[in-house]
Structure 1
């Protein structure tokens, strides 16, 4: 079975090899909340992808507990404020993942993403978190990645097979990556981000984090809250969840988005399934995929699994891109049964795969045996009978089976004591991060955070409407906090 990793991470660029420490390396950022002792300038040059942006690297310790040990180069990119006279400061950004490239965001996406006002007033700075993109990427054998067994083991023997595979893959990725593999957790990224603040010469930063990037922001606020001027977080992560809560709430979010799609199709004549029982069509399609009757429209020699179809839908819920999803489902439903078999050809020896190196060090979720795993799966399926659970989180939890129990950054309730007011936005019908996650983070940090719900669908939030964009822009530029109880109405299909 083809591994699910690439569906969970972005396409990553080639990495840089870590070496030993050099005299110019940034000094230890100090204990969390403490003072830093040195700073290093970044040698900015025009980015190869786009000369209107600047790129550089920052030499940092692989292990912050051993600052004079091995080092790696953190890849950084920035777009300077277009109106220097009105410049407020730097805006560090992280677009999520884990595995999305902040460098790519700053170079290729920031201008289309942020308003003119934000671009005029902030140096937009993106970085590839350690293990991602050009920041010494985690690499694994492509052939081994393609050997992943089912993440739905049917008995203890298949559970043991999955655990054995995960351990073998972990050892393989560690061998190809080096010591950084064991330090890809978000707390280490937080230390890197504060070192980047120093290198930029800033006393305080502004930060915009989306999805998994909100965990970076939350934990930065815990450790270095007094170094924040403003922080806006969209599609928030609740890092206090246990295994059952995490799986069930993730499944419920995916199922809720499926029902939002069905409701849209029922009322919209543009839907390719309009006038049909969409739920029945969907359930029948997944059953046919289970029987090996559905082929990939882009690769007719490959069969599509029910999971692959659900994952395609899940990704389209992010937009939401409901028209595209309806057309895709209608096309698959019209297929004649096929006996073709899926094949995968590895075309390179190693592949960049940071997801599990990050996720399994950030979450202590380790089902011990098939009985425990099956109970979690049953609860997940009850919460999402049509989506069959969460395509993303089920695979994430399955990938940590067999890993050591110790993690670098275990779950805990947030404790933010020194940060200024933090703005949170979250879609009511987010397919990936359940709205309850944002509500719970807000409860944990009620004196520090302000939560503005977007009452529509989709995973992205900032550009959803004038309301969502203005809430973020007014806060980042003027520190204007929305009033308590504020929300943003749905816009368009979302």
Structure 2
């Protein structure tokens, strides 16, 4: 795995191959502006140097996907040099369906970093969000800079990515450690060679500033937004930069912006362990569980034994790639995002027990967004590019990673060793980090709804608790359950609370719990 801060919704993690990624281009009509919220002052005006961007008109055209329109948004490549080069960002929308008075635009982001918001909108949010929400909002998405159709970061070719994803991430000796370091260095060098212009300018802060330009261009005085997973960090960053422009913000599957990279990676490792234990508890109660019918710890030992076995002798998959430990681990982790994938994981593990690795390879490919033709979406490239700009690297070199292994193994006996070494990727990044860990309070912002799932694998529940406490207007909604994120995943309690907030502006009471 490339980076452990690969945070995205279940829809992106497990159904990425089905995303509809249509070309977006320019026609005309911007959304009508909303009135100023009662009892609140109007947001501050755009800076003089950026007025050209804030005053632009989007030219909307049919996307080629029924019901959706697309356009291109211009933004400065470098906000410190607004008169310099520009970057073009892909935008898509589906208009409010009615009945009821239109509230405005609702921007959505599925996480990643690196997930295509346009693809998510067209494949899921624009048709799958609750009908009352779609009735009263124009559903809108913009692919963040460096992602998908917004001048994507590119690093490796398809065959190079195949090799990269198979590198041993649990090195047993100096030669394997050197090989892993070389893989990360080659990945970083490929990004610098193929995307050197955009690479220093794909931070979350810059993407949040792009969102404010889009808000203004759409005609909304304040931003309404649903961000999932990494999208919560993006939303919180927006609130920090533009507190007076916050409308109704839902941050689902929250990140904690106050943590350094090492702590984020280690906490997420513990989250995957929690999710695995839930899977194992369900599995061992079944007579056909491929990890045995004993205890949860015994199931964990069985999985570790399997990982060691495929590290020593990879399994055939029916194609040229074999299933080694790295791809097998990725396949298991992919299924941790959603309990709905547990049957598929049980079947894949049973197949592997019988000597065939195709099932786990398919899960790993869904995680990496690898297409059947061997090409990859730019998810992994964008993920590293954003993460490595947002925070200083977890380690200074391999020696630091080796020292961290015991603490990661304590966090997760099953996944800890591999995920400790995966955090080495930003060590060799060619663009220096521009962000630092810090608390986000967003003083003066309207109420912000933070949602956390108690057994979330990718964004541990304590992160949601922390973010809600940091935000001066944060309200915490808890889903007691499994899987990554909560909205639209089967809890009427969660969905009703979020829908009420989006439609009426009234958040649930702080601390409300749902199951």
What TM-score, normalized by structure 1, do the two folds share?
0.85
Matches of 1:184 and 1:15, distance apart in 2: 21
- Report the RMSD for the aligned CA atoms in angstroms: 3.2
- Contact 2:230/2:255 (CA < 8 Å) preserved in 1? yes
Question: How much has 1:66 moved relative to structure 2?
Answer: 0.9
Residue 250 of structure 1 corresponds to 268
Question: How much has 1:275 moved relative to structure 2?
Answer: 3.5
Residue 472 of structure 1 corresponds to 498
- Contact 1:292/1:303 (CA < 8 Å) preserved in 2? no
Q: Name which of structure 1's ranges 8-17 and 77-86 shifts more when overlaid on structure 2.
A: 8-17
Counterpart secondary structure, 1:285: helix
Residue 335 of structure 2 corresponds to 316
Which deviations, in whole Å up to 9, do the C-alpha atoms of 1:298-331 show, x marking residues without a partner?
x354331223222212111211122221121122
Counterpart secondary structure, 1:463: coil
Change (3 A) 1:197 1:379: same
Counterpart secondary structure, 1:141: coil
Change (3 A) 1:173 1:311: same
Question: How much has 1:286 moved relative to structure 2?
Answer: 1.7
Residue 131 of structure 1 corresponds to 146
Residue 227 of structure 2 corresponds to 209
Residue 294 of structure 1 corresponds to 315
Q: Name which of structure 1's ranges 478-487 and 344-353 shifts more when overlaid on structure 2.
A: 344-353
After TM superposition, the runs of 4+ consecutive aligned structure 1 residues lying more than 6 A away are 14-17, 344-351
Counterpart secondary structure, 2:313: coil
Which deviations, in whole Å up to 9, do the C-alpha atoms of 1:410-450 show, x marking residues without a partner?
221113112111111111000111111111112222x3111
Residue 482 of structure 1 corresponds to 508
- Contact 1:366/1:401 (CA < 8 Å) preserved in 2? yes
Question: How much has 1:179 moved relative to structure 2?
Answer: 1.4
Equivalent positions of 1:194-343 (< 5 A) are 194-267=212-285, 275=293, 278-296=299-317, 299=318, 301-320=320-339, 321-335=341-355
Residue 115 of structure 1 corresponds to 130
Matched, 1:364 2:392: yes
Q: Name which of structure 1's ranges 110-119 and 125-134 shifts more when overlaid on structure 2.
A: 110-119
Matches of 1:269 and 1:452, distance apart in 2: 37
Matched, 1:182 2:203: no
- Contact 2:315/2:323 (CA < 8 Å) preserved in 1? yes
- Contact 1:47/1:53 (CA < 8 Å) preserved in 2? yes
Question: How much has 1:471 moved relative to structure 2?
Answer: 1.1
Residue 416 of structure 1 corresponds to 442
Residue 452 of structure 1 corresponds to 477
Residue 425 of structure 2 corresponds to 399
Matched, 1:463 2:488: yes
Counterpart secondary structure, 1:232: strand
Which deviations, in whole Å up to 9, do the C-alpha atoms of 1:361-391 show, x marking residues without a partner?
0121241233321111221112111234575
Counterpart secondary structure, 1:217: helix
- Contact 1:144/1:169 (CA < 8 Å) preserved in 2? no
Matches of 2:398 and 2:421, distance apart in 1: 14
Which deviations, in whole Å up to 9, do the C-alpha atoms of 1:337-373 show, x marking residues without a partner?
9xxxxxx999789973312111110121241233321
Question: How much has 1:407 moved relative to structure 2?
Answer: 1.0
- Contact 2:168/2:325 (CA < 8 Å) preserved in 1? no
Which deviations, in whole Å up to 9, do the C-alpha atoms of 1:188-241 show, x marking residues without a partner?
101100110111111112000000111110000000111121100111111221
Report how many aligned residue pairs link the two structures: 462
Q: Which runs of 5+ in 2 are unaligned?
A: 7-12, 26-42, 358-369
- Contact 1:174/1:182 (CA < 8 Å) preserved in 2? no
Which deviations, in whole Å up to 9, do the C-alpha atoms of 1:275-303 show, x marking residues without a partner?
4553343233222212215333xx35433
Equivalent positions of 1:61-72 (< 5 A) are 61-72=76-87
- Contact 2:4/2:268 (CA < 8 Å) preserved in 1? no
Question: How much has 1:174 moved relative to structure 2?
Answer: 2.8
Matches of 2:303 and 2:182, distance apart in 1: 34
Matches of 1:469 and 1:293, distance apart in 2: 43
Residue 373 of structure 1 corresponds to 401
Residue 426 of structure 1 corresponds to 452
Counterpart secondary structure, 2:514: coil
Matches of 2:344 and 2:375, distance apart in 1: 34
Counterpart secondary structure, 1:409: coil
Question: How much has 1:88 moved relative to structure 2?
Answer: 0.9
What TM-score, normalized by structure 2, do the two folds share?
0.81
Counterpart secondary structure, 1:440: helix
Q: Name which of structure 1's ranges 251-260 and 107-116 shifts more when overlaid on structure 2.
A: 107-116
- Contact 1:14/1:137 (CA < 8 Å) preserved in 2? no
Matches of 2:438 and 2:211, distance apart in 1: 21
Matched, 1:438 2:454: no
- Contact 1:63/1:183 (CA < 8 Å) preserved in 2? yes
Matches of 2:245 and 2:161, distance apart in 1: 40
Q: Which runs of 5+ in 1 are unaligned?
A: 18-31, 338-343, 490-494
Q: Name which of structure 1's ranges 102-111 and 70-79 shifts more when overlaid on structure 2.
A: 102-111
Change (3 A) 1:434 1:183: same
Counterpart secondary structure, 1:233: strand
- Contact 2:4/2:265 (CA < 8 Å) preserved in 1? no
Matches of 1:457 and 1:103, distance apart in 2: 27
Q: Name which of structure 1's ranges 154-163 and 323-332 shifts more when overlaid on structure 2.
A: 154-163
Question: How much has 1:184 moved relative to structure 2?
Answer: 0.8
Matches of 1:14 and 1:80, distance apart in 2: 17
Matches of 1:351 and 1:426, distance apart in 2: 28
Which deviations, in whole Å up to 9, do the C-alpha atoms of 1:4-24 show, x marking residues without a partner?
47995867969999xxxxxxx
Q: Name which of structure 1's ranges 56-65 and 360-369 shifts more when overlaid on structure 2.
A: 360-369
- Contact 1:234/1:425 (CA < 8 Å) preserved in 2? yes
Residue 46 of structure 2 corresponds to 35
